[in-house]
Structure 1
Amino acid sequence: MDAATIAGLLADPARLRVVAALALGAGTLERVAEVTGLPLKDVVVAARRLGRAGLVRRDRHQLELLTEHFGAAARAAAEAAPPPEPLSADPAEDAVLSAFVRDGRLVSIPAQHSKRRVVLEHLVRVFDAGVRYPEREVNALLAVWHPDTAALRRYLVDEGLLTREAGLYWRIGGWVDV
């Protein structure tokens, strides 16, 4: 069973609730109905559909969630996924960025100066050269990357990538895409 099929099965709210109840230890049709607040008829229909898909084993009123199928589907999906696009043409920079940037978000601010500099040079590209930004707008742009906008602003200024005067910020460093 593939991850897309599992996701499709769980897109139904009743089936999702049945799976959640089973994962949390409910083991009978009656207990699942009690825990989820679903009518017994809806639990039976959901359990039948999940059973046909191979996610639930049913023996009369007893139910068992076959959790190994979820892990196997996730592993298969991860193996089949294309490798992520490099964040930098430089392999060393890409290694640093891959360690700290996931899905367009900064998972943490590097403590090591050299790694932080690579991340900041990547991040400063959200600011257009020659444009002055009020602090509120700088915070909005940085919040997309990481919730600690004050630290990012300070690092960008300290590293000479942004400058600040009278509450306005503008880009003064880093590579500019042309």
Structure 2
Amino acid sequence: MSADLNARAAVFRALSHPARLTLLRLIWSEPLSGETLARLMNLAPATVSHHLAGLAEAGLTTVRQEGHHRLHGANRAALDVTLAALIRGEANMPAPEDPYRARVLRAFLKDGRLTRIPAQRKKRDVILHELANLFEPGRTYTEREVSDALAGLHPDFFTLRRELVGLGLLAREKGVYWRVKAGEAVPTLPSS
């Protein structure tokens, strides 16, 4: 089967459960956190997380970090495709979320907090790339600001800060930190 055919079939699988349709209805007009969705649907947070993962894997939702919460929204571009266009293969479906990444995030992030720092390097890198989204490219941060942002997610913010710098996601110079842009060869302090 072609990748495009698999992507189109994934949409049908994702929409085949009533809870997933309800989730899409709830996040249609504004992104909501998993905790809010669990409360609105009167479901366990783990159940909501499972259904959100199914929608994300089909590319039907968007996720953004806002403070300590991950906000889930409807991917309108993917959902505006007509059924006929989807069946005929005329629609360009968005690339689905990486299933491995989604599983790692579900396993280690609960209620907007990091439950533990993964020991396995590959999983740790997934988490660190997600945490790097807390910091805006082009903006500088004091060490205290970086520590405070990370401490809100996990008590061992020292390790997280060191790992983000070590992986090249954050750069540090004279107590000033900044997000390294993708493909940036030599991190330089952004101009303020």
TM-score by length of 1: 0.51
Matches within 5 A, 1:20-169: 77-78=43-44, 82-84=48-50, 85-86=52-53, 89-169=97-177
Instruction: Give the whole-Å Cα distance in 2 for the aligned partners of 1:99 and 1:174.
Output: 26
Give structure 1 stretches of 5+ with no counterpart.
Answer: 1-75
The answer to whether the 8 Å contact 1:139/1:149 transfers is: yes
SS for the counterpart of 1:99 is helix
Number of aligned residue pairs: 100
The answer to whether the 8 Å contact 2:147/2:157 transfers is: yes
Give the C-alpha shift of residue 144 in structure 1: 1.2
The answer to whether the 8 Å contact 1:121/1:174 transfers is: no
Give the C-alpha shift of residue 90 in structure 1: 1.4
The root-mean-square deviation of aligned C-alpha atoms, in Å, is 2.6
Give the C-alpha shift of residue 78 in structure 1: 3.3
SS for the counterpart of 1:164 is strand
Larger CA Rg, structure 1 vs 2: 1
| Structure with greater helix percent | 1
Q: Relative contact order: is structure 1 or structure 2 higher (C-alpha 8 Å, sep ≥ 6)?
A: 2
SS for the counterpart of 2:138 is coil
